[in-house]
Amino acid sequence: MEERPCQPCGGLRVTEHTEHTVETDENGNQRPVIRQWTGLCGACGGSGVVYQ
């Protein structure tokens, strides 16, 4: 197997993540919520490389 840089993160080990949810506010109204964060790459598990 050959080690190659992970394409989704470009070998940087982290990617941008986005989560879309619907939450209920204090008045009982539903509203869409979008959360974004930088975290470990899901494709390589944060190693920065993949094996092919």
Domain that holds residue 47: 3-51
On the question of pLDDT at 30 being above 90, the answer is yes
pLDDT for the residue 29: 98
Q: pLDDT tens-digit profile of 4-22?
A: 999 999 999 999 999 999 9
Q: How far apart are the first and last CA of the chain?
A: 5
Distance (Å, whole) CA 25 – CA 44: 36
Domains of the chain: total: 1
Residue pLDDT, tens place only, 34-52:
999 999 999 999 999 999 8
